[in-house]
Amino acid sequence: MKKKNDSSEKPTKKIEQLQKDTWKVEGSTMKTNQGVKVNDTNNSLKSGERGATLLEDFLLREKITHFDHERIPERIVHARGSGAHGYFELYEAIPQYTKAGIFNDTNRRTPVFVRFSTVAGSKGSPDLARDVRGFATKFYTDEGTWDLVGNNMPIFFIQDAMKFPDLVHSVKPEPNNEIPQAASAHDTFYDFVSHATETLHNHIWAMSDRAIPRSFRMMEGFGIHTFRFINEKGESHFVKFHWKPKLGVHSVTWDEAVKINGADSDFHRRDLWEAIDAGHFPEWEFGIQIVPQEDEHKFDFDLLDPTKLIPEEMVPVQIIGKMTLNKNPDNFFAETEQIAFLPGHIVPGLDFTNDPLLQGRLFSYRDTQLSRLGTPNFHQIPINRPVVESHNNERDGQMQMDIPKGQTAYFPNSISGGCPHLSKMAEGAFGSYEERIDAKKVRNRSESFSDHFSQPALFYRSLDKWEQEHVAGAYTFELGKCKIDHIKERMLYMIDQIDHDLAKKVAQGLGLKVPSKIDEPINQSIGADADVKKQQPGPKKNYLDKSPALSQAKTKFDSIETRQIAVLVGDGFSMKNLEKMKSSLEEEGASVNIIAPMGGTITCDENMEHKVDASIMTTESVLFDAVYIPGGKKSINALGENAKYIKFVNEAFKHCKAIAVDGEGKEFLRTTYAGKHTNDKAILVDEDATAFIEAIKQHRNWERMAIAEEVPA
């Protein structure tokens, strides 16, 4: 007979039954943590369908609060980040739009700190995951701190903050096995996406090359939401914010991303640090899209819908300033990790709109920072301190680092002479736009938010052919990782609503057919009592045939600054050829790296020793932007004896990069796939440096893509 405390004894039936009952899912009814039945977990409580979100929404606060506190101390999302210091300069003042000092003083140099990040992965995940990238900027202005907390994509997955925990839970590793890490290619994510059709626009961006940028320095940034500018007259203009990189918008291929994650999982972090360390300071121009208050409803989409962008062809981006990052952090934890961004940090001349995602973020971010940094005094951490003094009656709290003086900590008072006193609007005090609100309290979503297919279709139509092929490949790979067929089929139906040819390509890759219909509502991201018909997305509209600004084929191709050039050499390489090419490349700001059979030093044909940057066994082609082989008979013989050099060039060819050879280098080229295609405009044999530089400027020769697929992965 076993003893009661025998560790080998199985749990009693009573405990097993209790566990089953507690976590039973089938047939259960959704309730709050207090046992209150819930009829809508998709929409926050608003003053009218397009009105402000209400603080009394206990369902929103319970759901968001619990989500914000799921992880400590690592950020739940945007955990893996890199940051840098810099400054912002204004090109032209815009008093007609805003009274904000940062946008009206062209003599200012406003300090900034920027944090770039991936969204879904943990702090230890690799840099090159297919993911949205965070692009958060803290402006230390003379009127207070302004945080522009955005991404490298101009829209977001969801329309209402109430859905944010659902989105992140679906894309995070599945809770039963914690798989996969930093990847969206799994059943729970596509189960969610295929039922919440509002996600389809941001999702197709995530399937594009925008989700695997070449560098943080070569990606755009967006404020996502529609904000307000307020001028001295109290007039309001809607505004969207843009960061446009001076180096253009460039990406890597998926095959490269997979290999880079293995060769250097810190690729983006290292790239940013080394560029700044070498004096190649990253720059972005700052742009705004302005919509007058009276034009709020003139578009075929809703300005308050964060899943929609305003095409630049409809409202041009006005470039008004520039940001330069010129200093790496002194301590990663103290600065990059402890920096706290809050969308609620704005300055006079800026204000919020009733975008329901933004409204929820205004609550959520502060709550998250309280959890992560452990104290309401996180603003006293040096990286978070404003550059202007702050005076108020807030006191004490964990980790209080200031020593407030005086007898009073309340207002109004007479003991301290009424200090700190209030400021008048004319003295620069913050004031909210006086928007008229006259609506019923509802938990619903405006019908103007229900167009879920038009903008994903516009995005896909606007892409170049090679970009469209990459999107089709991404969908095929991601859905191919899903195991549940009905999720794949439902997703194919959704893609078909965006573009039929795209759906056919993906279906062919999956060995499935595109369904002509589905037996359930298209959009299931609605409340239990919602009008199902009103919340179903209608057929896509074509209010703009194409938006070239959405395509990376229309980006800047005028610089090779900071591009990494691999020079493949063995002993006896041509000093004359290398020096000529090296000086030309470095004059354009590129970094030239000698890749030799072994580390240490290597000898040229003039019997001079040269420092080796990497041995061929410790590096990979995917870490470089172009390849040069300077020739020299002895050197070329050495390259031919090492199969990894051939693999190196073959991969550069496969990834459509520029390849140049001089002298005997063409003999080695013939042993590679590139040697079979010397009519390729980015394969240069005995050409001058100018032609090679022009080929590198183009980032890739995408015309090679179909041929490049012949090369084994």
DSSP 361-400: HHHHHHHHHHHHHSSTTGGGSGGG--SS----S----TT-
In which region does residue 35 sit, left (phi positive, over 0), alpha (psi from -120 to 50) or beta (all else)? Answer: left
Instruction: State the first-to-last Cα distance of the chain, in angstroms, to the nearest integer.
Output: 62
Q: What is the pLDDT of residue 26?
A: 62
Q: Is 58 helix (H, G, I), strand (E, B) or coil?
A: helix
Residues in the chain: 713
CA angle 170/172/178 to nearest 5° reads 115
CA 348 to chain centre: 28
Q: How many CA atoms lie within 13 A of 518 on its CB side?
A: 20
Please give the structure tokens belonging to residue 402: 């200031």
Question: Which structural domains are found in the chain, ordered by start?
Answer: 53-384 (2.40.180.10), 460-537 (1.20.1370.20), 557-708 (3.40.50.880)
CA angle 46/52/53 to nearest 5° reads 55
Q: Label the pairing between strands 609-611 and 601-603.
A: antiparallel
Run of H or E residues at 509: helix 500-510
Q: Is 323 helix (H, G, I), strand (E, B) or coil?
A: strand
Please give the structure tokens belonging to residue 341: 């961004």
- Rounded CA separation 490/493 (Å): 5
DSSP category for residue 604: B
Please give the structure tokens belonging to residue 632: 């020299």
Neighbours of 622 (CB within 10 A): 25
pTM of the model: 0.91
- Rounded CA separation 636/539 (Å): 60
The one-letter amino acid at 29: T
Helices (H), 413-484: 454-462, 465-480
DSSP category for residue 199: G
DSSP category for residue 171: H
CB 546, CB 458: distance < 8 Å: yes
Beta-strand ranges (E) seen in 61-183 are 81-90, 110-118, 133-141, 144-151
Q: Label the pairing between strands 591-596 and 683-685.
A: unpaired
Catalytic residues: 78, 151
Angstrom CA distances, 579 to 44, 590, 598, stand at 64, 14, 21
Q: What is the pLDDT of residue 162?
A: 95
pLDDT means over runs of 10, the chain (713 residues):
42 47 61 76 88 85 79 78 97 97 97 97 94 97 95 98 96 94 96 97 98 98 98 96 98 97 96 97 98 96 98 98 98 93 94 96 92 89 91 85 87 88 86 89 93 98 98 98 97 98 98 94 91 89 96 96 98 97 97 97 97 97 98 96 96 97 96 93 96 98 90 78
Angstrom CA distances, 190 to 25, 183, 405, stand at 20, 12, 56
Angstrom CA distances, 284 to 37, 326, 369, 466, 561, stand at 49, 12, 28, 26, 14
Neighbours of 609 (CB within 10 A): 10
Report the candidate in 259, 177, 97 with the shortest Cα–Cα distance to residue 647: 259
Beta partners for 239? Answer: 227, 290
CB 462, CB 547: distance < 8 Å: yes
Q: Tally helices (H) and strands (E) across the chain.
A: 19, 20
- Rounded CA separation 114/86 (Å): 8
Please give the structure tokens belonging to residue 5: 């405390």
Which residues, in sequence order, are CB contacts of 400 under 8 Å at separation 6+? 377, 380
Helix 643-654 vs helix 633-640: crossing angle, to nearest 10: 90
Report the candidate in 340, 330, 359, 270 with the shortest Cα–Cα distance to residue 75: 340
Neighbours of 502 (CB within 10 A): 22
